[in-house]
Structure formats: structure tokens, C-alpha cells
Amino acid sequence: MRKLLLATLALGLLVACSGAGAPTAAGGAPGIGRDGGPESAEFAKGAAAPGTDQAATQPNSIPIPAAADPTRALILTASISMRAQDPWGAADRAQAVATSLGGEVMSMSQSGKGDDRSASVVLRVPAERFNDALRQLRALSDVEVLSSSVDSKDVTEQFVDLEARLRAKQAEEQRYLALLARAERIEDILRIDQSLAQVRTQIEQLTGQVNSIKTRTTFSTISISVTPLGVLPSDPKVYDPTRTVERAIAALGVMLRVVADLAIWMLVFGWIPLLILGVAFGLQRTRRTATTASTPTSS
């Protein structure tokens, strides 16, 4: 009886131990994901998941929407507005940043003179260096960044669709070539050749679209505008008599231009009304003279 009680007690202890260990295995041991597969080592270390904002973990970084996802075809663009003591020099330094990262300058304009100079430049950099380019541009010496924006356009579905259509047209071209090799009659050869020409035209168009998307996803565009480092515009609610004087002078200039235009129009076309009045006066005088001559004089 004592042995039976001891065996029952031991069996109960084993069942209790196995029940306590079950939640740990079901809840997911380290290195096991929810779907039963191996969990990412970065997630195990507490790294940010894909699609989350990395700006919180990287100081002075610029968030790029899904820029780290190599499986997506993204067109990345950025726009930066700056102020600098020497806008032309800042534009030159921005150009140097792009070329050092393997990019190029698509367009650049510099205008003004003295303290009123300004510049604008459009850069193209490799997509994998896009974030580096933004950081270096924001860190340019003697430059104050006023605003910056980043935009991404996902063209993955469009790119996959174009590639599928291109492969289908290339397969269709091969079938037409096989038919052309077996054709014997002249009318069959001409008909197949016409269809083959149409397919090749479509292949060229699709190839151009695919290459355009590849270029736009391989290289990212950054637009920069640099204005002179002057005084910030004043609050429009604050009364400024100089602005009133400027508006009054501008209105006076407009009025003087209107008066001058009217004088020019009168000088050029003013003789026409005078000519009409002269003709009318002459006709009236001639009519009076004829009437007076036809009236008999009294004796």
C-alpha cells in the first residue's frame, strides 16, 4: 500500500512539472518565430523591424520610407531648401557631395549678384547612397537648412508587369521567327513579317519603359534651392510704414504707365476723330451753301 502511494505521488509530480514547462515551449523559445521558423537574430537583439522609423535609433538621420527594402522597386526623391552666406559656393559643395558618392549633376542655375545671389541644383545619386547624400548635404558648412522633404514611390507592381509583358512579347517573337523559317509561300512570309515587325515595336517600347524605371530606381533625385542668408521676413501683422510707401510708389508707377499709354494711343489714333469731324463739318457747310443758292431772292 505504501509503494502504491509513493508511485501515485511520483506520477503526480511528473505531470505537474510537464505542465509548468509547456507554456515556455508554446510561447516561443528564443530563436523560434510564431510560424515555427527561426526568428531573426536582429529581432532577438531588439533591432527595429522593417518598415519602422529608424530616425529614433540613429541620431541626425533622415527617415526614408521603405528605403532599406531591397525587394521593392522604389523611386526616391528629396527636396531641400537652404540659406547660405555664399549660395553659389554652397551649390558647388553640394555638387561635390553628389560626385563623391558616384552621382552627377542634372541641372544647376546661379543668379543674382552681391548679397542677392541664389542658386538651385538638381542632383542624382545612387539609391543605396541616398541617405548618405542627404546627411552630407544637411551637414554642409556655413549652410542653414530651412526645410527638407523625402518622398518614395513604389513601382514594384508596374515594374513586374512590364517585365512579364516583355518576356511574353519576346516569346511571341521567337514563335514568329520559327514560323517564318518554315513558311514557303510569299503571302505567308509577308504576313508573318508584318506581325513580327509589330511585335518588335512593342518589345522596343516595353524595353524603354523597363529601362526608364530601372534608371529611376537605381538613381535618386535630390533638388536643392539655396537663398542668401538675410533677415527673415517680418510678421505681416506688424505695421511697417515702409511697405505702405513701397505699395504707394508701385501704384503711382502703374498710374503713370496708364496715362503714358493713353497719351501714346491719342497721339497715334487721335487724328481719326478729327478727320471725321472735319468731313462732317465740310458736308454740312456744303449743304447749307447749296440750300442758300437754291432759295430765290426777293425783289
* Structure-block grid coordinates of residue 169: 512579347
The predicted model gives 253-264 an average pLDDT of 86
> Residue 178 class from Cβ within 10 Å (0-12 exposed, 13-18 middle, 19+ buried)?
exposed
pTM equals 0.50
My answer on whether 108 and 179 are in the same domain is no
- In degrees and rounded to multiples of 5, residue 11 shows phi and psi of -65, -40
Residues 119 and 185 in one domain: no
The total domain count for the chain is 2
Question: In this predicted structure, what is the pLDDT of residue 136?
Answer: 92
pLDDT at 142 over 60: yes
Task: Please count the residues of the chain.
Answer: 299
Evaluate whether 101 touches 244 at the Cβ level (below 8 Å): no
**Domain boundary, last residue among 183, 198, 228:** 228
- Is 178 a domain residue? yes
DSSP codes of every residue in 79-140: EEEEEESSHHHHHHHHHHHHHHTT-EEEEEEEE--GGG-EEEEEEEEEGGGHHHHHHHHHT-
What pLDDT band is residue 238 in, cutting at 50, 70 and 90? low
Does residue 6 belong to any structural domain of this protein? no
Amino acid code (one letter) for 174? Q
**Per-residue pLDDT band at 235 (split at 50, 70, 90):** low
* 228, three cell numbers: 542668401
In a domain, 249, yes or no: no
Residues 117 and 174 in one domain: no
Its domain, for residue 146, covers 74-154+221-228
Strands 219-228 and 118-126: antiparallel
The model's pLDDT over 120-129, given as tens digits with 9 standing for 90+, comes to 999 999 999 9
- pLDDT of the residue at 172: 93
